[in-house]
Structure 1
Amino acid sequence: MPALPSTPETTRHFTHDLQDRHLIYDYAAQNAAGEPEKWRYEMWFYNADRIVYAIHGGPMAGRKNFQTATYQCIRPGELWQCNWLEETGTICSLVYDIKQEKITTLLGFSKGHWERNDDAKGNKRNREDLERWRGLAKIGSQTDRVLLSEQADIVEDFRGPGDLEGIEMEWPTL
């Protein structure tokens, strides 16, 4: 799936800006008691079709996943949007500001994912975890979503997998 808009120039920009790029970033969030805490996330823009990520902090800590993603070039060398749908029914949209070293996200958590976040943890490569995640998507309806808008600071930016596990392109994503 090519980066949007689909042009040779956009493909060239994707290769330069995102291909194989690995970001580790922290959200300055709050826990259930309203106290400040850091939520660390890790995102690897694997290629023009896939992302690989891990969540290390916050209510979703302990989740390792990979997904089919769509990428949209907003401004080459500056701003990119990455969107994906999870097995849990959660809709994710991430904007990467290269120059400001920021991540801005909007997450539309399914009711099952949000209310039973312990069940959303694990590694997609484990069949039991994947099946449990799929079950979370069946809880609630499209209007039973929790919207979470957050902004994070990038703390590491490099190329390659780092500590994340690679994937095979033929592995299903939903």
Structure 2
Amino acid sequence: MLPQDKDGKPEKWRYEMWFFSHDRIVYAIHGGPMAGRINYQTATYQCVRPGEIWQVNWLEETGTICSLVYDIPNQKVTTLIGFSKGHWEHPQEAHGDKRDPNAFDRWRELAKIGSQTDRFMLSEQADILENFKGKGSLQPIASDAQTF
């Protein structure tokens, strides 16, 4: 079951993403049950249709698998997130900034809860509310910053 707001409607998720380099993504989660999480990951990028559709995939230290399809002309994002059992069942422990060693270590522990088949699979689609070039309010990372 998806988290609900005070009116019983599905809680709105809000992300800020920066496609930082050819193999890194930097993001913050501002809404939904994972709000308060600031992270960066090694990512793979794949052009699906030049100038129109890109796919970005990454694995988090929590054990969560993320796949995002960015539809540029329609300003839509379609995602599949395979939350690890630890990440989904303990969202508060997944909050924080990866640059904080305590948060980073705590997130790694979440990956150890459950097995590969204990995932919560979440498919979502969202409209892009704001589109800009550059980092927005996100902080840059070193190109060789540790992701695991």
Q: Same fold (TM over 0.5)?
A: yes
Give unmatched runs, 5+ long, in structure 1: 1-28
In structure 2, the partner of 1:92 is: 66
Out of 91, 95, 119, the position equivalent to 1:121 is 95
Would you say the 8 A contact 2:64–2:81 is kept in 1?
Answer: yes
How many residues align structurally?
146
Amino acid at match of 1:31: Q
Residues 1-174 of structure 1: matches in 2 within 5 Å?
31=4, 34-174=8-148
Amino acid at match of 1:153: D
Aligned Cα RMSD in Å? Answer: 1.4
CA distance in 1 between counterparts of 2:75 and 2:9 reads: 25
CA distance in 1 between counterparts of 2:77 and 2:57 reads: 13
Q: Percent of aligned positions with the same letter in both sequences?
A: 68
1:132-170 Cα distance to aligned partner (Å, 9 max, x none): 000000000000000000011101111111110100012
CA distance in 1 between counterparts of 2:80 and 2:109 reads: 22
**TM-score normalised by the chain length of structure 1:** 0.81
Amino acid at match of 1:100: N
**TM-score normalised by the chain length of structure 2:** 0.95
Shift of 1:119: 0.3
CA distance in 2 between counterparts of 1:37 and 1:121 reads: 17
Greater relative contact order, per chain length (Cα 8 Å cut-off, separation 6+)? 1
CA distance in 1 between counterparts of 2:3 and 2:103 reads: 27
CA distance in 1 between counterparts of 2:30 and 2:126 reads: 14
CA distance in 2 between counterparts of 1:55 and 1:99 reads: 24
CA distance in 2 between counterparts of 1:142 and 1:52 reads: 25
Structure number with larger C-alpha Rg: 1
Runs of 4+ in structure 1 deviating by more than 4 angstroms, as ranges, are none
CA distance in 2 between counterparts of 1:87 and 1:78 reads: 30
- Going from structure 1 to structure 2, the CA distance change for 1:134 and 1:81 (only over 3 Å counts) comes to same
